Structure 1
Amino acid sequence: MQTVTLDDAQKKLVTLVEQASLGDAFIITRSGNPLVKVIPVGPVPESGIKRLGFMADEIHVPDDFDQMNNTEIEKLFADG
């Protein structure tokens, strides 16, 4: 893995980022000490981040979900 000083990274940032995006990660150092590691993010799904429906057909919510344990809940919050 390539190591680049902070000064060199500032001068060659565009080139270094292009190389990293192709899989050539690198480390930026200052005074010989590693500061950060630059790695490619990876491919982003064409449709973006899909959050809803990712577990379709794996989880089933009962039709009366909003009424479950209604009696017990009412007892907990009843006056008296």
Structure 2
Amino acid sequence: MDTVNIHEAKTQLSRLLARASQGETVIIAKAGRPIAKLTPIDTPSASKVRRLGFLKGAFQIPDDFDTMASDEIAEMFGGEDPS
């Protein structure tokens, strides 16, 4: 996270926006005191970050999942019965 003063932010706004669009956060300060934070708007907040595997064990997939209703599907598409 980088801190820039207001004058620098005015003169280099395009560059600061490009940095923010790459995921970087920039603090804008007045007289050395932070007054604003420039961040990309599509950055997910910590509470909305997806967690892989959080539903593990919550449900089961049947062993015949990949062959369920294969007779009906074959009939709909005019194919042969796979059995």
Scaled by the length of structure 2, the TM-score of the pair is: 0.50
| Partner residue, 1:76 | none
Q: Map of 1:1-80 to 2, 5 A cutoff?
A: 1-42=1-42
State the distance in 1 between where 2:30 and 2:22 align. 24
Aligned residue pairs, count: 43
State the distance in 2 between where 1:26 and 1:33 align. 13
CA shift for structure 1 position 24: 0.8
State the distance in 1 between where 2:8 and 2:41 align. 22
RMSD: 1.1
| Partner residue, 2:78 | none
CA shift for structure 1 position 8: 0.2
The C-alpha deviation readout for 1:22-67, integer Å capped at 9, x for no partner, is 1011000000110100110017xxxxxxxxxxxxxxxxxxxxxxxx
The percent of aligned pairs where both chains have the same amino acid is 35
